Amino acid sequence: MKITKALLTSAIVIGISACGSVEQTVESKTQMVQEKSYQTELGTIALNSIKQRVESRSYPSVFQAWNPLDTAEFPLDTLENRLTAAAKHDLLWEEPVSQISFNTPLVLGTEWNHKHTGLADGFDPKTYQQALINRAKLLEKNPNMVMLMEVRWRDAPGSYLPEDSEYWLRNDDGSRVAGWKGGPEPYYMLNYENKAFQQRVAQMSKIAVNSGVYDGVMFDWSGHLDIIKLTRAAIGDKALITVNIHDYLNKAEKYQEYINGAFMECDPDHSYKPLCTWDGMKKAIDFYELKFKKPVITGVEAWGDRENEKTMRAITTLALTHSNGYVLFADPNPLKTPDHLHNWYDMWDFDLGKPTQDGMIRPDGASQRQFENALVVYNPQNNEKVTVKFKNLHKRFSDGREGYEFVIKNVDGDIFSPVKH
């Protein structure tokens, strides 16, 4: 699948004009990127507004947190294959500083234009040109896709800034405070209480959004209120902000008027790390959907063994019945592989369409929600098994069984579609 020469030319012209400072030279052209409709071999591809893309998608809706699909069905050996795999997702974010150091191929692929990334005033022109083309191709494959850039605020590789920078957090002896221990090179804490550094993060966020490549930014490590406020002021009301706050309602209450979503990076079965609980996730999702800025883009992730489709069904149906969010079932971070690698599951290809009603709590304690093409039911932890009954013949997705009554165990869920003769 290829885009036409006209589309490529538009993207490249904008990329060439961005040499030097993206923030200074691209703002007017960004509007053209975001609003123009392109003619492709598939017909007209309209670059809908962020709000339209979030609200137009069907369900289930899956997201990519940094790292890609990891299955033979979707090879990643070429850029075109990586774009095809990425376009299966409706939301993704990437972060070139860390991913490149891990030799992880990026999807959009922008790289900052300074040897010390934290001092960049724009994107490298060559990678920027290609990123605009990649974005156009992704939207051709999935017109409802939303793309974010993670901007570092808590810690960074030692090469991120000069060693003597005031933006590093220092020990009493003047040495840099150690940061994340999982990187390919030493990471050090950033001085996120430094007012000038806070402005630097907001400026880099503005560069990312004004480039026309990204629809907003993502902050890892639970975020920082002052940085989030400055970033919102810098990028405006229409761009997106999501923050990795797991199921932390205390963080959500502080951030709610500034952010659109939460990355819920969770291990609710506590197989590896006590991150979130099933009940905590449900309560948090309900709060996020109600309180965050619209459009809400919460991404709900559970870790687990890839063969454990019961947990995959549970996290998928939890997200579907309690939110209009995105879902991911991925490898646990403690594994000695890149974080968030994942399979693609048949359940995620089922076309639910759009929800026709809000989710509801059934008398038996399970949650259910009606979509255009099927009913979704989630049975929470510590609940008894529940029986789902229908007047008309239905099929359960997980095993293909047809019938009028179905049992769902706790911490499980399923999709039930009417059988048409």
Note whether 331 and 364 are same-domain residues. Answer: no
Does residue 117 sit within a domain? yes
* Residue-range definition of the domain harbouring residue 393: 360-418
Question: Where is the domain boundary, 290, 318, 349?
Answer: 349
Strands 91-94 and 216-219: unpaired
In a domain, 82, yes or no: yes
Residue 213 to residue 34: CA distance in whole angstroms: 9
How many domains, the chain? Answer: 2
Rounded to an integer, the average pLDDT of 235-264 is: 98
Instruction: Place 37 in a pLDDT band, splitting at 50, 70 and 90.
Output: low
Tokens representing 185? 């090179």
Look at residue 288 and tell me if it is in a domain: yes
How sure is the predictor about 12, in pLDDT bands with cuts at 50, 70 and 90?
A: very low
Shared domain check, 150 and 299: yes
Query: How sure is the predictor about 27, in pLDDT bands with cuts at 50, 70 and 90?
Result: very low
Are 314 and 222 within one domain?
yes
298 and 377 co-located in one domain:
no
∠ CA 196-178-93 to the nearest 5 degrees?
65
Tokens of 55: 């609200």
Residue 72: count of CB within 10 angstroms of its CB:
5
DSSP state of 105: P
**Domain match, 268 and 411 both:** no
- Residue 15 pLDDT greater than 60, yes or no: no
pLDDT at residue 48, as a whole number: 81
366 and 247 part of one domain: no
| 233 part of a folded domain | yes
**What's the CA angle centered on 293, arms 292 and 294, to 5 degrees?**
115
Listed residues 302, 317, 349: the one ending a domain: 349
Q: What is the CATH number of the domain that holds 341?
A: 3.20.20.80
Question: Bridge partners of 368?
Answer: 360, 377
On whether residue 260 sits in a domain, the answer given is yes
Looking at residue 8, what is its pLDDT? 44
| 30 part of a folded domain | no
Tokens of 153: 């605020």
Residue where a domain terminates, one of 292, 327, 349:
349
Q: Are residues 272 and 146 in the same domain?
A: yes
% the chain with pLDDT above 90 = 83
Q: Which two tokens stand for residue 264?
A: 């819920």
| The three-state (H, E, C) secondary structure of 275-316, written as one string | CCCHHHHHHHHHHHHHHCCCCCCCEEEEECCCCCHHHHHHHH
Q: Is 392 helix (H, G, I), strand (E, B) or coil?
A: strand
Cβ atoms of 144 and 135 within 8 Å: the answer is no
Q: State pLDDT tens for residues 281-290.
A: 999 999 999 9
Task: Indicate whether 264 and 337 sit together in one domain.
Answer: yes
**Is 333 found in the same domain as 250?**
yes
Sort 49 into a burial class: Cβ within 10 Å, 0-12 / 13-18 / 19+: middle
Q: What is the mean pLDDT of the chain?
A: 91
Q: Is residue 12 one of the residues assigned to a domain? A: no
pTM of structure: 0.90
- Asked if residue 39 has pLDDT above 50, the reply is no
Q: Is residue 297 part of a domain?
A: yes
| 233, 299: one domain | yes
Amino acid at 65: A
Mean pLDDT value of segment 233-239: 97
278 dihedral zone (left: phi>0; alpha: psi -120 to 50; beta): alpha
CATH number at residue 410: 2.60.40
Same domain, 328 and 281: yes
Same domain, 99 and 149: yes
What is the tens place of the pLDDT at every residue in 297-323? 999 999 999 999 999 999 999 999 999
For residue 35, the model assigns a pLDDT of 43
**Residues β-bridged to residue 5:** none
**pLDDT class of 182 with cuts at 50, 70, 90:** confident
pLDDT at 157 exceeding the cut of 70? yes
